[in-house]
Amino acid sequence: MRKIISFLIAIILISTTIIALVGCGDSRKEIKIGYWINNSNEKTNNKYIFDEFEKKFPEYKVTPVSISYDTLYEEVNRMYVGNTLPDVIWMREDYLPSFAEKGIVENLKAYIENDETFDESLYFENALNFCKYNDNLYALPRDIGVQVIAFNKDLMGDTPLPSNDWTWSDLLELSQTLTKKEDDKITQYGFGWTDWKSLVYSNDGELFSDNGQTAQLNKEETVEALQLYSDLANKYGVMPTAEASQGLGNAFTGKKAAFAVVGPWDFAKLKKSNINYDIRSFPKGSSEKAGKMRLSGLQIGISSKSEQKEMAYELVKFLCYNEDAQKLQGEYSIAMPSIKSVAKSDIYVKSIYAPPSIEMYFDALENTFIEPHFEGEIEALSEMNDWLYKIYNNVDNNIVTAESIKNSMNSAIQTILDKY
């Protein structure tokens, strides 16, 4: 009898526990954020920030929704049509015009105007302009950045880093000095990778003018930059060719190149790869033409179909404006905070991930511009990549020059622009 009673008591206790657990389910409201994550460290570090938001707003929980960086445009459009778009979205700057035109993201103008606590002057210069389209603000910048050159000091050996006002000629000479061979096989590249757009802008070139209405790909400075992009790999052999890149991966992070183009979003990754590095500004173009570098970063906006837009704004503001969140971002060096006082504080400047010459980075930020983005840009750049393929890749033992195709290339891009 005692065994039966004990058994019944056990059943009652188990049932009570189950009921209690069910009754203690998470009753918080869910707010979803669509983002891309490059590695597990980023996922963990962003969660620290999301946890802080939940402390500030305990009635809410943040639910991340993974969206691929490479297929962001297609995924966001598909989610928008299917009414599954998260409340808050990380955005790529080149897609902002399309998302704004289609009404996928909210215009934040009214939110900012009604927010008496919001102080635009706290941001770096141009940070908010970076998030505008047709003079309307569609996002806030969580982080901003500009490309610089990172040097592996161990691979540099006794070769000194260049001055901060170096030129393309200096870059080529240094690349040749640091490229090493064994039996005609390259064992170390001088230059690991560059961005063709950055070469164009550093040479005072441009791709489009008149707010995306006119192609400028046959402009002298632009053609010169595109040719250098090819020549570094195919003529001088100081940067991996397209063929070599296939099996090489990232030559710089793989410690197979002495220097390469990076952004502040790469600083933590370089340190975690045990690369002893420092930085310099991007070199000036041919004949020391005074080009500027485009401002980049992460824009975060609100879905126009969110059913809790006020709280979505609070999350966007927290991530992109709140000092505590920006400090956490700086501490974990996810990317450089867009709030000036936080970025220039010891939390970021003296972070274990920051390069020794971090002050040079702030100097580089003084020479930036907002790259124009417009409807039709995605299609135009897709076509542009096809032309770049001919300039950079060896196709049937032939690599064409930028000069020889500049007019036909410009005409092809102009045809696309005219559609819009």
Domain membership flag for residue 12: no
Q: What φ, ψ does residue 232 adopt, rounded to 5°? A: -55, -35
Same domain, 204 and 83: no
52 lies in which domain range? 29-145+296-343
Amino acid at 282: F
Nearest to residue 343, comparing CAs of 299, 312, 297, 300?
A: 297
Same domain, 201 and 120: no
Same domain, 269 and 193: yes
Nearest to residue 45, comparing CAs of 265, 254, 316?
A: 265
Same domain, 385 and 318: no
The whole-angstrom separation of Cα 271 and Cα 147 is 17
pLDDT attached to residue 51: 97
Domain membership flag for residue 361: no
Q: What φ, ψ does residue 206 adopt, rounded to 5°? A: -150, 160
Task: Please give the chain's pLDDT, 420 residues, in tens.
Answer: 444 544 444 444 444 444 444 445 689 999 999 999 877 778 899 999 999 999 999 999 999 999 999 999 999 999 999 999 999 999 999 999 999 999 999 999 999 999 999 999 999 988 999 999 999 999 999 999 999 999 999 999 999 999 988 999 999 999 999 999 998 899 999 999 999 999 999 999 999 999 899 999 999 999 999 999 999 999 999 999 877 765 556 899 999 999 999 999 899 889 989 999 999 999 999 866 777 889 999 999 999 999 999 999 999 999 999 999 999 999 988 889 999 999 999 999 999 999 999 999 998 888 888 988 888 898 999 999 999 999 999 877 788 999 999 999 999 999 999 998
Same domain, 279 and 319: no
Query: Residue 391's domain is classified under what CATH number?
Result: 3.40.190.10
Domain membership flag for residue 13: no
Same domain, 213 and 305: no
Q: Of 343, 361, 382, which one is at a domain's C-terminal end? A: 343
Same domain, 198 and 57: no
Buried b (16+ CB within 10 A) or exposed e, 302-316: bbbbbebbebbbbbb
Same domain, 86 and 176: no
Domain membership flag for residue 20: no
385 close to 393: Cβ distance less than 8 angstroms = no
The whole-angstrom separation of Cα 264 and Cα 332 is 12
Query: Within the chain, what is the greatest distance between any pair of CA atoms?
Result: 100
Nearest to residue 92, comparing CAs of 320, 284, 297?
A: 297
Same domain, 176 and 233: yes
pTM of the model: 0.86
* 420, two tokens: 């819009």
Domain membership flag for residue 8: no
Domain membership flag for residue 181: yes
Same domain, 153 and 73: no
Same domain, 54 and 72: yes
pLDDT attached to residue 319: 98
Domain membership flag for residue 411: yes
Q: 35 forms bridges with which residues in the sheet? A: 66
Same domain, 285 and 311: no
Look at residue 264 and give its three-state secondary structure.
helix
The whole-angstrom separation of Cα 108 and Cα 124 is 19
Domain count, the chain: 2
The whole-angstrom separation of Cα 331 and Cα 78 is 35
Domain membership flag for residue 100: yes
pLDDT attached to residue 361: 92
Tell me 295's DSSP state.
P
